[in-house]
Chain A
Amino acid sequence: MTAAESYYGRPVLKPPVWKVPDVPLYLYLGGLAGASSTMALLADLTGRDRLAGAGRLAAAVGATASVGALVHDLGRPTRFLNMLRVFKPTSPLSVGSWILAPFSALSGAAAASELTGRLPGAGRAAAAIAGAIAPAMTTYTAVLLADTAVPGWHAVYRELPFVFAGSAVSSAGAVGMLAAPEESAPARRMAIAGSVLELVAARRMHRGAGLVGEVYQQGRASAVLRAARTLTCLGLGAAVLAGRSRTARVASGLCLNAAAAATRYGIFEAGRASARDPRYTVMPQRTS
């Protein structure tokens, strides 16, 4: 595109004002917490107490830290409460707040019961309800990004939830492997299956994005996403070996969580880059 086809090369859109690392962390922690919670529920139902406990703790820590990151981005805790003054189905952030608030409260209660040993029945019930809401935690953040005019996010709205879901499942599996080694078989399978889902969905996402797909293949976003992909592959490989080797288990757990955080940051950064360059706003609108 020549300079004559945009206004002095200036962006058409306003880039997102959301802060780094607050918002990428919020995206990563929410996914981790959601998948951990469902893992805890199923571990509980199948009599794997250690894994259930680890999942509940990860869900509570992840959800609380995720709310913390959101509050830090907003500036004041009351601003998060302000999100709950209405319920708006057209606003993914409103819907997300209404998923996040009960989820984090229930996960927190479940973890508190787990740690103190008090009210075990209520704690179990809270964990069960949280575990049922939890899959929504892993994907609503994809809608949050996609429901914008940011070309790099909106163009991939079909694939993005699957990337986030896969990444969430693998990072939760990784936490399960680290925290409950003696019951880690399902967690290991989660790490493997989640990684595969993430890699396949990410590949589809990059291919299907058209011109805007460039932002995923250049600059900082590309470097971060390449690192994320390498870490996912390493974590996946290590997870396959983790049944026998403690080193492989630990390596896999660390790699997959680093990969999940990097994936969120890379996608966030790609969107920002796509908003800054008028090409990605103008050209797809010209051809469609």
Chain B
Amino acid sequence: MSFVARNRLSGPLADPAGDAGYPPDHPERVGFFTDTSVCIGCKACEVACKEWNLLPEDGMDLTGMSYDNTGALGATTWRHVAFVEQESTVDLGMPGMGGDQVRWLMSSDVCKHCTHAACLDVCPTGALIRTEHGTVLVQDDVCNGCGYCVPACPYGVIDIRPDTGGAAKCTMCHDRLGAGLMPACATACPTESIQYGPLDELRERAALRVSELHEQGITDARLYGQDPADGVGGAGAFFLLLDEPEVYGLPPDPVVTTRDLPSMWRHAAGAALTAAAVIAGCFLGRKR
């Protein structure tokens, strides 16, 4: 199938915007590199995102999960700061209070703007599109709220907004990008934990940063989502993490579901032909 041969459904893809049909002079692909080793959990990104994108509040409930009262990414939360409170015997090199030490891992999560975006692939109306910047965007006026993108996303990012009935997620501040500005979250981040820029440049910077941390003895530091050969063809928003991805609520090895779609259609066709053959077989024999 030509889709598979040209890596249209999965695998490395150098230029998603070009693949989507933008002319060769389209802007370069941009993304986020979120370095959680310098995140201080201030939630400025969450607030800036809400402010800029006019997103409503999600309710004022306390989750009881460390300092996280947002819980997860959702239709009206496009940046979410996770607080992982680990009680362990980690030696922080500080005077102890006796008993277990506590360490906090903080990480600002966001839509991954995948190279192969399952949400975009399965959208039946064309409401989800690849933008000229290589990001993934929901066109609100086209979305009919069918909700197919919701279970398709391997990261659990996109959801249906209760107030509009349409699907919604991070746009990477598409309106700001068009005006030559940085996304609101990256602009507001006081520690440069959220870095925005051309994706290739961010990948180089991230590789440097992770080797720097390894030299400092922080061997748990690892990059997540930067590999163009991974299950989603490399994410447009990737992370430097200090523990396993699932600790932060991220899937360890996500795969774009449409990778298997040719096989799914083949099995469905086989089953449909089986059904036809079974029914036809039942009509053989004596008439009554």
Contact assessment for A74 and B159 in the assembled complex, using a CB-CB cutoff below 8 Å: no
For this complex, into which size category does the number of interface residues on chain B fall?
A: 35 or more
Contact assessment for B156 and A12 in the assembled complex, using a CB-CB cutoff below 8 Å: yes
In the assembled complex, the Cα of A47 lies from the Cα of B118 at a distance in Å of 48
Q: Mark B119-156, 1 if CB is under 8 A from A, else 0.
A: 00111111000000000000000101111101111111
Would you call A217 an interface residue if the criterion is a C-beta within 8 Å of the partner chain's C-beta atoms? no
In the assembled complex, the Cα of A254 lies from the Cα of B153 at a distance in Å of 38
Q: Mark A61-75, 1 if CB is under 8 A from B, else 0.
A: 000000000000111
Would you call B27 an interface residue if the criterion is a C-beta within 8 Å of the partner chain's C-beta atoms? no
Contact assessment for A42 and B270 in the assembled complex, using a CB-CB cutoff below 8 Å: no
* Nearest CB of chain B from residue A138's CB, rounded to whole Å: 5
Instruction: With CB as the reference atom, state the residue of chain B lying closest to A288.
Output: B253
- Which residues of chain B come closer than 8 Å to A173, judged between CB atoms? 282
Would you call A48 an interface residue if the criterion is a C-beta within 8 Å of the partner chain's C-beta atoms? yes
Contact assessment for A93 and B251 in the assembled complex, using a CB-CB cutoff below 8 Å: no
- Which residues of chain A come closer than 8 Å to B254, judged between CB atoms? 149, 285
* Nearest CB of chain B from residue A246's CB, rounded to whole Å: 15
**Could you say which of A110-118, A122-130, A182-190, A208-216 contacts chain B?**
A182-190
In the assembled complex, the Cα of A14 lies from the Cα of B251 at a distance in Å of 12
Would you call A91 an interface residue if the criterion is a C-beta within 8 Å of the partner chain's C-beta atoms? yes
Contact assessment for A190 and B279 in the assembled complex, using a CB-CB cutoff below 8 Å: yes
Contact assessment for A190 and B272 in the assembled complex, using a CB-CB cutoff below 8 Å: no
For this complex, into which size category does the number of interface residues on chain A fall?
A: 35 or more
Contact assessment for A5 and B287 in the assembled complex, using a CB-CB cutoff below 8 Å: no
In the assembled complex, the Cα of A73 lies from the Cα of B151 at a distance in Å of 16
Q: In chain B, residues 239-278, which have Cβ atoms closer than 8 Å to a Cβ of chain A?
A: 244, 246-254, 257-258, 260-261, 263-265, 267-276, 278
- Which residues of chain B come closer than 8 Å to A47, judged between CB atoms? 287
In the assembled complex, the Cα of A149 lies from the Cα of B273 at a distance in Å of 27
Contact assessment for B147 and A138 in the assembled complex, using a CB-CB cutoff below 8 Å: no
* Nearest CB of chain A from residue B162's CB, rounded to whole Å: 10
* Nearest CB of chain A from residue B103's CB, rounded to whole Å: 12
- Which residues of chain A come closer than 8 Å to B272, judged between CB atoms? 135-136, 138-139, 161, 165
Instruction: With CB as the reference atom, state the residue of chain B lying closest to A275.
Output: B151
Instruction: With CB as the reference atom, state the residue of chain A lying closest to B65.
Output: A8
- Which residues of chain A come closer than 8 Å to B38, judged between CB atoms? none
Would you call B101 an interface residue if the criterion is a C-beta within 8 Å of the partner chain's C-beta atoms? no
Contact assessment for A10 and B71 in the assembled complex, using a CB-CB cutoff below 8 Å: yes
- Which residues of chain A come closer than 8 Å to B279, judged between CB atoms? 35, 38-39, 42, 169, 172, 190
Contact assessment for B282 and A146 in the assembled complex, using a CB-CB cutoff below 8 Å: no
- Which residues of chain A come closer than 8 Å to B155, judged between CB atoms? 12-13
Contact assessment for B270 and A278 in the assembled complex, using a CB-CB cutoff below 8 Å: no
- Which residues of chain A come closer than 8 Å to B121, judged between CB atoms? 90-91
* Nearest CB of chain B from residue A97's CB, rounded to whole Å: 6
* Nearest CB of chain B from residue A126's CB, rounded to whole Å: 19
Contact assessment for A138 and B275 in the assembled complex, using a CB-CB cutoff below 8 Å: yes
**Could you say which of A15-23, A225-233, A256-264 contacts chain B?**
A15-23
List chain B positions with a Cβ less than 8 A from chain A. Answer: 3, 9, 63, 65-66, 68, 71-72, 82, 84, 86, 118, 121-126, 142, 144-148, 150-160, 165, 244, 246-254, 257-258, 260-261, 263-265, 267-276, 278-283, 285-288
- Which residues of chain B come closer than 8 Å to A12, judged between CB atoms? 155-156, 246, 249-251
- Which residues of chain B come closer than 8 Å to A157, judged between CB atoms? 260, 263-264, 267
- Which residues of chain A come closer than 8 Å to B288, judged between CB atoms? 182-185
Contact assessment for B257 and A147 in the assembled complex, using a CB-CB cutoff below 8 Å: yes
- Which residues of chain B come closer than 8 Å to A34, judged between CB atoms? 275
List chain A positions with a Cβ less than 8 A from chain B. Answer: 4-8, 10-18, 34-35, 38-39, 42-43, 45-48, 73-75, 79, 82-83, 85-86, 88-94, 97, 135-136, 138-140, 142-143, 146-150, 154, 157-158, 161-162, 164-166, 168-169, 172-173, 182-187, 189-190, 193-194, 197, 271, 275, 278, 281-282, 285-286, 288
22 A-B residue contacts at CB 8 Å? A8-B66, A17-B147, A17-B150, A79-B146, A83-B124, A91-B121, A91-B122, A92-B122, A93-B122, A135-B276, A139-B275, A140-B268, A148-B122, A149-B151, A149-B153, A149-B254, A161-B267, A164-B271, A186-B282, A189-B281, A193-B278, A286-B253
- Which residues of chain B come closer than 8 Å to A75, judged between CB atoms? 145, 165
Shortest 9 CB-CB contacts between residues of A and residues of B: A7-B249, A161-B271, A94-B124, A189-B282, A135-B272, A79-B144, A93-B124, A165-B275, A285-B253
Contact assessment for B283 and A10 in the assembled complex, using a CB-CB cutoff below 8 Å: no
Contact assessment for B151 and A14 in the assembled complex, using a CB-CB cutoff below 8 Å: yes
Instruction: With CB as the reference atom, state the residue of chain B lying closest to A150.
Output: B151
Contact assessment for A148 and B152 in the assembled complex, using a CB-CB cutoff below 8 Å: yes
In the assembled complex, the Cα of A22 lies from the Cα of B265 at a distance in Å of 24
Contact assessment for B124 and A138 in the assembled complex, using a CB-CB cutoff below 8 Å: no
Contact assessment for B144 and A193 in the assembled complex, using a CB-CB cutoff below 8 Å: no
Contact assessment for A147 and B153 in the assembled complex, using a CB-CB cutoff below 8 Å: no
- Which residues of chain A come closer than 8 Å to B258, judged between CB atoms? 90, 147
In the assembled complex, the Cα of A20 lies from the Cα of B174 at a distance in Å of 35
* Nearest CB of chain B from residue A18's CB, rounded to whole Å: 6
In-complex Cβ contact of B276 among A38, A85, A150, A164 (8 A): A38
Instruction: With CB as the reference atom, state the residue of chain B lying closest to A194.
Output: B278
In the assembled complex, the Cα of A11 lies from the Cα of B278 at a distance in Å of 41
- Which residues of chain A come closer than 8 Å to B142, judged between CB atoms? 82, 85
- Which residues of chain A come closer than 8 Å to B252, judged between CB atoms? 282, 285-286
Q: A42-B283, A190-B278, A281-B251 are in contact. Are A16 and B271 (CB under 8 A)?
A: no
